[in-house]
Amino acid sequence: MADSTLRDKVTVVGGGERNLGGLVSRTFAEAGAKIVVHFHTAEQDAERTAEAIREAGGQAVTVQGDLTRVADVRRLFDTAIDTYDRVDIAVNTTGMVLRKPILETTEEEYDRMFGVNAKAAYFFIQEAGRRLNDHGRIISLGTSLLAAFTDGYSTYAGGKAPLEHFTRAAAKEFAGRRISVNTVAPGPMDTPFFYPQETPERVEFHKSQAMGDQLTRIEDIVPVIRFLATEGWWFTGQTLFPNGGYTTR
């Protein structure tokens, strides 16, 4: 992938059915990419997203998978190769949040959180490294909590924390094939993922701490992901913390 457009770039989007991943799928497709829309439980959302892409003249296929299972991660990339004969870009937006004190967290919760946020992220990067063409792009989703000193998010931020090193190690290991590997770590984003574990007061607090007194929108983050997938060739092994450098809203 030596050029800097998305035209005909086969893109696997982990969690590509709705919210941030859904917008990545649709935006990349509008720019000419061929999309593999991965979903876990939300099949209808995945079909809706794929149908919207096809109606707009693009190409999309859906595939279900529990990405904590390595076999499912491999099947996701198999689907891309079987459908389009190649993979150029892999964006993993999957994740799971829990806000709970350490003293109350169960072993089962710990395993589930690290299963999605660390293990699935690791094997997604591994399989992308095996299957992407030279000049490919791998982009994972972290969280700005990686840079925060806060309570309650030990298994969420802790589960995402290894991503920073997975990203650095993979960037080094895949550099010979000019594959870049980066993580995007947004602040609190206005999606249904964010609200269940927060009180209305904490939502207001998060807004007050953000640039422009507002939550991040998925529309703010997709251009960052797109940049890393196209013009961002000089970035690799990085965790980017997009924080709203200016606001026009």
Instruction: Catalog residues that contact ligand NAP under the rule CB under 6 A.
Output: 15, 17-21, 40-42, 65-68, 93-96, 116, 120, 141, 143, 186, 188-189, 191, 193-194
Q: Which is nearer to ligand NAP, 1 or 125 (CB)?
A: 125
Close Cβ partners of 204 (under 8 Å, ≥ 6 residues apart): none
Q: Which is nearer to ligand NAP, 112 or 168 (CB)?
A: 112
User: Rounded to the nearest whole angstrom, what is the least distance from the CB of residue 176 to ligand NAP in the complex?
Assistant: 28
User: Rounded to the nearest whole angstrom, what is the least distance from the CB of residue 133 to ligand NAP in the complex?
Assistant: 24
Q: Which is nearer to ligand NAP, 6 or 24 (CB)?
A: 24
213-230 burial code (b ≥16 CB/10 A, e <16): ebbbbbebbbebbbbbbb
User: Rounded to the nearest whole angstrom, what is the least distance from the CB of residue 3 to ligand NAP in the complex?
Assistant: 28
Q: Which is nearer to ligand NAP, 21 or 136 (CB)?
A: 21
User: Rounded to the nearest whole angstrom, what is the least distance from the CB of residue 93 to ligand NAP in the complex?
Assistant: 4
User: Rounded to the nearest whole angstrom, what is the least distance from the CB of residue 17 to ligand NAP in the complex?
Assistant: 6
Q: Which is nearer to ligand NAP, 168 or 206 (CB)?
A: 206
* Nearest residue to ligand NAP, by Cβ distance, number only: 95
User: Rounded to the nearest whole angstrom, what is the least distance from the CB of residue 242 to ligand NAP in the complex?
Assistant: 10
Q: Which is nearer to ligand NAP, 95 or 136 (CB)?
A: 95
Sheet holding 238-240, edge to edge: 59-64, 34-39, 10-14, 89-92, 137-141, 180-184, 238-240
User: Rounded to the nearest whole angstrom, what is the least distance from the CB of residue 1 to ligand NAP in the complex?
Assistant: 24
The 3 state secondary structure assigned to the chain is CCCCCCCCCEEEEECCCCHHHHHHHHHHHHCCCEEEEEECCCHHHHHHHHHHHHHCCCEEEEEECCCCCHHHHHHHHHHHHHHHCCCCEEEECCCCCCCCCHHHCCHHHHHHHHHHHHHHHHHHHHHHHHHCCCCCEEEEECCHHHHCCCCCCHHHHHHHCHHHHHHHHHHHHHHHHCCEEEEECCCCECCCCCCCCCCHHHHHHHHHHCHHHCCECHHHHHHHHHHHHCCCCCCCCEEECCCCCCCCC
Q: Which is nearer to ligand NAP, 25 or 236 (CB)?
A: 25
